[in-house]
Chain A
Amino acid sequence: MAENKFYGDSATREMRQVAEDLGIQTVWDRELLQQPHCGFGLLGICCKNCNMGPCRIDPFNPNGPKLGVCGADADVIAARNLLRHITAGSACHNDHGRELTKAFKLAAQGKAPGYQITDESKLKVLAQEYGVKVEGRSLQDIAVDLADRIFAEYGQQEGELVLIQRAPKKTKEMWRKLGIMPRGIDREVVEALARTNMGVDNDYRSLMRHGMRVALSDGWGGSMIATELTDILFRSPRPLDSRANLGVLKYDQVNILVHGHVPVLSDMIAQAASDPELIKLAKAKGASGITVAGVCCTALEVLIRRGVPVAGNFLQQELALITGVVEMLIVDLQCVMPSLPNIAGNFHTKVISTSPRAHFPGSEYVEFKEEQGYEIAKKLIRAAIENYPNRNQEKIHIPKAVETLVSGFTTEYIFEMLGGKTLSTYKPLNDGVAMGRIRGVVGVVGCDNPKMQSGETHIKLIKELLKNDVLVVQTGCAATACGKEGLLTPETAFKYCGKGLQEICEAVGCPPILHMGPCVDNSRILTACCEIVGAGGLGVGLDELPVAGVAPEWMSEKAIAIGWYFVASGALVVFGQPYPVYGSKNMTNYVTKEVEELTGGKWAFEIDPLKMAKIIIEHLDSKRKTLNLKPMMYQ
C-alpha cells in the first residue's frame, strides 16, 4: 500500500482522522490514489501541443523514441512545457493585478462606494512613477489617470514597464542586454503561447529567455501593481498580532471563511462582518457573534491589514469544512480545490463562488461586483447567519490548535523599523550583513503539498536557517505553516536564532521571520532587495546580494513564475521537488547552471530540508566572499 509522506500539524492530523471516520476523501487520499505519478510527466518529456501526438521521449531505451513526431527533442519539449507553466502562473498574478486596477478605478470614480483611497502618500508616489501629474489635483483625478496608465501598460506593445525601473541600474542593463526586458504585460503572455505552438520557437535557450521575460512582467508588473494598489485601497500593512490554525473557528459564532486570492472581495466581507445590524441578527439566531477567517492567500491579505485570523493554508481548506461549523465558504479564484462543494455537501456549509473567471459546480454563484461590494457582502453574511441554526450538532469537531503570530511587514515599514520615524534607512540591515551578524536574507515562500512532509519541511528548513543567522522573510502558505507552529513571534529570536541574528532582532525589536503577506506580495521582497542595494555596501546589482528564495513545498504554476522572476533578477531559488525538466539534460543544465552566467541567478532542487539549508548557506557565503564582507561574527 502506498503512503503519503504526511506529517502535518496537530490540527491537520486530528482533522484527517475526523475525515476518515466520516468517510470523506481529502487531498491526501487522492494523492495516494494518483500514485505513481507519471514518469513522463514528472520529467517534462510528454508533449500534447499538436494532434500528431501526444508524443513522449523515452528516457531509458537507447533505441526508443528520442524525437516527437514533429522532430522536437527532449530539450524543446521540456522547454515548451516549462514556458507554458511559467506563463500560466504569471497570467494569474497579472490578471490579479488587472482586477485590482479595475476596483481602484471604480473607487476613484466614486462608482464603488465601499472602497476608498486609504494610502494617499503611496498613491502619489506611484502616480509620479507612472508620469501622472500630482500637484494641485484631487486624489480622485490622480487615481483615475493612474488606473488608465496601468491599464494601458497591460496592452503596451513596446518600451519597458514602469515599476521595473525600480531595479538597480546594473540589473536593468543586464535585462536589456539579454533582450528579456518585458515590453508590456499581456503581450509577453500571448507571445509565450504563440512561441510554444508546434513549429514556432525550437531553441530551448530562446524559449527560456522568453520565460524569464514573462516572469519579469509578473514580478515587476502584475504582482507589483497588485501589491501597490491593494495597499492604496485597503491600507498599507503595519505589524499586528493575529492567530492561525483551525482553532480560530468558534463553536458559538457564525463562521465565515474567505478563500482565494483577490482582496477586493475578502476585505469587503471582513468590513461588513462588523456591521452592527448583522451582529444583532447573528445574536438573534443564537450565535454570540460573527467570525471571519481566511484560507490561502486571501486570508493573508486580510490578515496583514485587518488582523483577520487565518483558519489554514492550502492543504487545510477541506479540513476547515469538515469541522462542521462553517456556515459559509466564500471563494474567488486560484488554489480553490474543485472538491470543496462536494465536501460541503456533507454538512450545512454553503459554498459561494463569486468570480466570473472561476465557477464551481455544486456551489451557489453570486457574482461579486465592486459597485455593490458592501451590499453583496452584507447579503452573503446575512445568508450565512440564516444558515447558523442548520448545523448538525453530531458532526462538529473543532481542533483546539491555534498559535499567535505577528504579520504585516512591508518594504516601507522596514525603513521605519530599522531607522525609526526620523531616520528612515535600510543601513542598519546592510551593516548587520556586512559586519557578519546576519549571513543574508532568504525568502521562504510558496505552497504546501501532499507529496511532501507537509509543514515539517518548512519548519526544519527555517530553524536551520535561523540557527545560521539568516534573516527570513515569508509570504503565502509557507508563512502560514510557520505561523501554525508559533514561529512568527519575536520569541523565536531567543529560541532558534544564532547569536548575531539574535542581537539584531533585540536591537531593532523585530522578529527574525518577517511575514510580508500573500504570494502576490513576493513583489515586496523584490523592492526590499532594491532598497538593500540602494543603502549601499552590498554591491550594485541584485545578483550580488547574499539573498536566496526557496519554495520547499511548491505545487502551483504560480510558484514556478515567482521562482523565475527571482532567478531572472539574479537570485538563487531552491525548490523541493523539481519542476518537470529532468528529462532533458540540456534544460537541467540550463536552469541549474547556465542561466547563472546570464542573470547571476539559478535554480537548485532538493527535497531534504537540511540539505536545502546547506545549499542556501553555501550560496550566501559565496556571495559574501565575492563582496569581501567580514567573516560571520559568531561562527
Chain B
Amino acid sequence: MKKLYYDAKKCTACKTCEIVCAIGHSPSKDLYTAILEDNAALPSVRVYAGQDENYPMACRHCKDHPCVSACIASALRYDPKEGLLFDKEKCVGCWMCIMVCPYGAVRPDFRDSKSVRCDLCADIKDPRCAKNCPTKAIIYVEEKAINV
C-alpha cells in the first residue's frame, strides 16, 4: 500500500500542505471561495514544530491501529489495501480515536462533533499535500520502497 512519508529535514513549515488539504476537502475546491464557506474543511494534515525540525503530520494509516479498536461507533475500519477507512456519518464525537492515536494525527472538528482524519485524498487517489509540497518533504510511495 502507498503511504505518506515525511522528511522533517526538508520541511520549511510553509503550511502549503494544510492549505491544499483544506481546499481539496472543501465543497468549492477553490482557495478564494473555500475560505468563505461556512463548512470549509479543516486540514487533516498539520505542521508541528519540533526542537530543530518541523513535522508535517497526518493519519499514518497504521497496520496496528488502536483507533479502530477504540471506536465505540464502528466508524473506523482498516483495509490492508486502502488503509484506514472512516465512515463520518457514524462518528459520534467521543474523541476516543484522538486519545489513543500515538501520533496525535487525528483532530476534532467541534462544529459538527466529528473527527477529522486524512483520507489520502480518496477523491483523486493522489494526496494533495505530497503533490503540492514545494520542497518534497512529503512523499507518497509504496511502503516497501521505504527503508524503515
Q: Which positions in A face B, CB cutoff 8 Å?
A: 35-36, 38-40, 42-43, 56, 59-62, 578, 582-583, 585
Contacts and interface: CB of A to CB of B under 8 A. Distances in A.
Nearest to A34: B134
B134 to A, nearest CB: 8
Interface in B112-146: 132, 134
Interface stretch (B37-45, B55-63, B66-74): B37-45
Contacts of B23: 39
B20 A582 contact: no
B81 interface: no
A60 B22 contact: yes
Contacts of B43: 60-61
A585 B43 CA distance: 20
A39 B35 CA distance: 11
A38 B34 CA distance: 15
Classify the interface of chain A: helix, strand, loop or mixed: loop
B35 A60 contact: yes
B1 interface: no
Contacts of A39: 15-16, 19-20, 23, 31
A35 B111 CA distance: 32
B47 to A, nearest CB: 11
A56 B15 contact: yes
Contacts of B34: 60
Contact of B32 (A36, A38, A62, A582): A582
The 3 closest A-B pairs by CB, nearest first: A39-B19, A60-B22, A59-B35
Contact of B41 (A40, A56, A60): A60
Nearest to B25: A60
A149 B110 CA distance: 64
B16 to A, nearest CB: 6
A62 B40 CA distance: 10
12 contacts: A38-B19, A39-B16, A39-B23, A39-B31, A42-B32, A43-B31, A56-B15, A59-B22, A60-B34, A60-B35, A60-B43, A585-B36
Nearest to B26: A60
A506 to B, nearest CB: 43
Nearest to B20: A36
A578 B40 contact: no
A585 B41 CA distance: 18
A38 B43 CA distance: 15
Given A36-B132, A39-B23, A39-B31, A60 B40 contact: yes
B15 A40 contact: yes
Interface in B81-126: 110-111
A582 B37 CA distance: 13
B42 A61 contact: yes
Contacts of B22: 59-60
A22 B134 CA distance: 26
B16 A38 contact: yes
Interface residues of B, number: 21
A73 to B, nearest CB: 15
Nearest to A56: B15
Contacts of A578: 32
A29 to B, nearest CB: 16
Contacts of B16: 36, 38-39
A36 B130 CA distance: 11
Given A36-B16, A39-B16, A40-B15, A582 B35 contact: yes
Contacts of A56: 15
Given A36-B132, A39-B31, A42-B31, A60 B42 contact: yes
Interface string B10-35: 00001110111011000000011011
A36 B30 CA distance: 13
A43 B15 contact: no
Nearest to B41: A60
A582 to B, nearest CB: 5
Given A39-B16, A60-B41, A62-B111, 12 more contacts: A36-B134, A38-B14, A39-B15, A39-B20, A42-B32, A43-B31, A56-B15, A60-B18, A60-B35, A60-B43, A61-B42, A582-B35
Nearest to A60: B22
Between A61, A62, A578, the greatest number of chain B beta carbons within 10 A of the residue's beta carbon is seen for A61
Nearest to B40: A60
B98 to A, nearest CB: 14
B32 A40 contact: no
A60 B40 CA distance: 7
Contacts of A59: 19, 22, 35
Contacts of A61: 42-43
Between A35, A39, A43, the greatest number of chain B beta carbons within 10 A of the residue's beta carbon is seen for A39
Contacts of B32: 42-43, 578, 582
A389 B23 CA distance: 56
A585 B23 CA distance: 18
Between A40, A59, A62, A585, the greatest number of chain B beta carbons within 10 A of the residue's beta carbon is seen for A59
Contacts of B31: 39, 42-43, 582
Between B34, B35, B110, the greatest number of chain A beta carbons within 10 A of the residue's beta carbon is seen for B35
A101 to B, nearest CB: 41
Nearest to A59: B35
A56 B13 CA distance: 11
A551 B41 CA distance: 33
A464 to B, nearest CB: 23
Contacts of B110: 62
B20 A43 contact: no
B75 to A, nearest CB: 22
A40 B19 contact: yes
A583 B35 contact: yes
Contacts of B20: 36, 39
